[in-house]
């Protein structure tokens, strides 16, 4: 792995999501029939049309500054429903105007969902997958649809409940998915003591978080330790590890080299995730870093 190995993965396989415009530290998006105007510190350019002219059903105003996740939604007309269904590749989920400006899904992750499904489908053998920091479950649903047995873990009971809702919407409520509310590090350390092994491991850790019993997660100190545990949890025939990283002051090369050094004997592909604007201009909105390890 070297700095020349940079890959830009652009999510462009949605019908129920669009990035309509972006710039001046804001983005205008469509989730199904609902348009939202949200802050985005990466949108450092000028928008195609002035932000003041954007037509949105909901607008998120940040608290102290535009990089602050805290704030509140306001509405330009009739308030959208609490949640509404959207779809990707036959999977369904509920979008929602959640706290901290989130929408219940990160659309850029579809580049990993599709790749993960293809790899599991091509394996032609039983695959056991662990999805850590699994949020509202789209990666877990993609893996289960492809035929994997999945352990889905998140520290938030609300996110787990939403993931179960999405599974039911997708017709996968009876799929082999174990839904676990727990602290990621504590769960992984118990799995190590049990001698558990996984063919696929997916990580989407936050910069800072708390477990259900107020356990503390700090990316800079805990991510390297977690990667060491991931290496031990991998089976004798591992398929891949996917790590996605947000809101940290690291380059893609730093993340890739951390993965490569913790899990030797494989190839690491790394870079950035992005969403392409649907306007006539050639604009992509970077969203986060990723590293994929394969044996």
Instruction: List the chain domain ranges.
Output: 14-90, 105-294
pLDDT band at residue 248 using 50, 70 and 90 as cut-offs? confident
Quick one: DSSP state of residue 194?
H
Q: Is the pLDDT of residue 185 over 80?
A: yes
* Predicted confidence (pLDDT) per residue in 80-100, tens digit: 998 999 999 999 999 999 878
pLDDT band at residue 101 using 50, 70 and 90 as cut-offs? confident
pLDDT at site 209: 81
Helices (H), the chain: 110-123, 138-145, 157-169, 184-194, 219-233, 252-262
Q: Is the pLDDT of residue 7 over 70?
A: yes
Cβ-count burial of 3 within 10 angstroms (0-12 exposed, 13-18 middle, 19+ buried)? exposed
* Predicted confidence (pLDDT) per residue in 129-143, tens digit: 999 999 999 999 999
Calpha distance 248→288 (Å, rounded): 9
For the chain, the C-alpha Rg in angstroms (whole number) is 19
Residues found in the chain: 295
Q: Is the pLDDT of residue 222 over 90?
A: yes
Pick the CATH number of 14-90 from 3.80.30.20, 3.40.50.300, 2.60.40.1180, 3.40.47.10: 2.60.40.1180
Cβ-count burial of 22 within 10 angstroms (0-12 exposed, 13-18 middle, 19+ buried)? buried
Q: pTM of the predicted model, to two decimals?
A: 0.94
Calpha distance 117→95 (Å, rounded): 22
Percent of the chain with pLDDT over 70: 96
Calpha distance 19→279 (Å, rounded): 8
Kindly report the backbone phi and psi dihedral angles of residue 208, in degrees, each rounded to the nearest multiple of 5, phi listed first. Answer: -145, 140
Calpha distance 96→82 (Å, rounded): 6
pLDDT band at residue 68 using 50, 70 and 90 as cut-offs? low
Q: Is the pLDDT of residue 4 over 60?
A: no
Intra-chain end-to-end CA distance of the chain, in Å = 13
Topology agreement, domain 14-90 and domain 105-294: no
Nearest to 294 by CA among 254, 239, 253, 228: 239
pLDDT at site 158: 95
Range 105-294 has CATH code 3.10.20.340: no
- Average of pLDDT values for 179-192? 97
Task: Please tell me which residue, 216 or 60, carries the higher pLDDT value.
Answer: 60
pLDDT at site 98: 86
Nearest to 164 by CA among 258, 174, 120: 174
Kindly report the backbone phi and psi dihedral angles of residue 11, in degrees, each rounded to the nearest multiple of 5, phi listed first. Answer: -75, 115
pLDDT at site 280: 83
* Predicted confidence (pLDDT) per residue in 14-67, tens digit: 999 999 999 999 999 999 999 999 999 999 999 999 999 999 999 999 766 545
Percent of the chain with pLDDT over 90: 84
């Amino acid at each position: 792995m070297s700095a020349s190995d940079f890959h830009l993965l652009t999510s462009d396989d949605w019908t129920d999501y669009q990035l309509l415009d972006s710039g001046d530290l804001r983005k205008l998006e469509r989730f199904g029939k609902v348009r939202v105007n949200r802050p985005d510190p990466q949108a450092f350019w000028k928008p195609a049309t002035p932000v003041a002219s954007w037509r949105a059903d909901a607008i998120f105003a940040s608290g102290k500054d535009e990089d602050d996740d805290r704030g509140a939604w306001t509405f330009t007309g009739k308030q959208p429903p609490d949640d509404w269904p959207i779809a990707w590749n036959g999977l369904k989920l509920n979008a929602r105007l959640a706290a901290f400006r989130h929408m219940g899904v990160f659309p850029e992750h579809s580049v990993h969902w599709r790749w993960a499904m293809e790899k599991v489908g091509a394996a032609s053998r039983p695959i056991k997958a662990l999805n850590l920091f699994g949020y509202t479950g789209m990666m877990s649903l993609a893996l289960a649809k492809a035929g994997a047995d999945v352990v889905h873990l998140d520290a938030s009971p609300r996110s787990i409940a939403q993931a179960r809702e999405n599974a039911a919407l997708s017709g996968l409520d009876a799929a082999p998915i174990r839904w676990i509310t727990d602290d990621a590090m504590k769960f992984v350390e118990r799995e190590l003591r049990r001698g558990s092994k996984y063919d696929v491991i997916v990580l989407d850790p936050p910069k800072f978080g708390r477990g259900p019993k107020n356990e503390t997660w700090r990316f800079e100190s805990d991510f390297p330790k977690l990667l060491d545990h991931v290496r031990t949890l991998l089976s004798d025939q591992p398929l891949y590890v996917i790590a996605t990283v947000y809101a940290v002051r690291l380059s893609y090369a730093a993340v890739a080299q951390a993965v490569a050094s913790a899990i030797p004997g494989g190839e690491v592909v790394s870079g950035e995730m992005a969403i392409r604007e649907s306007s006539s201009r050639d604009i992509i909105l970077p969203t986060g870093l990723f590293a994929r390890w394969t044996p």
